[in-house]
Amino acid sequence: MGNAASARVLERNGFTQIGLAPQYFRLGSAGGGWADCRLFQRINPAWRGEG
């Protein structure tokens, strides 16, 4: 679960960390291990779906 710089960019731009997906993707080829993935979202409060 690396890349703290990318997480800071997301947070500075209004994204919020909402969770963690454990062992979400595999690093490298078949010999790589599984890595956790931090989940972020940004909600648009002005959005009003159709209907």
Per-residue pLDDT of the chain (51 residues; tens, 9 = 90+): 568 999 999 999 999 999 999 998 888 877 788 989 999 999 988 888 876
The predicted model scores a pTM of 0.71
The residue to which tokens 């790589």 are assigned:
32
Q: What is the DSSP string of 1-42?
A: ---HHHHHHHHHTT-EEEEEEEEEEE-SSTTSPEEEEEEEE-
Of the candidates 25, 6, 3, the one whose C-alpha atom is nearest the C-alpha of residue 15 is: 6
Burial of 40 (0-12, 13-18, 19+ CB in 10 A): middle
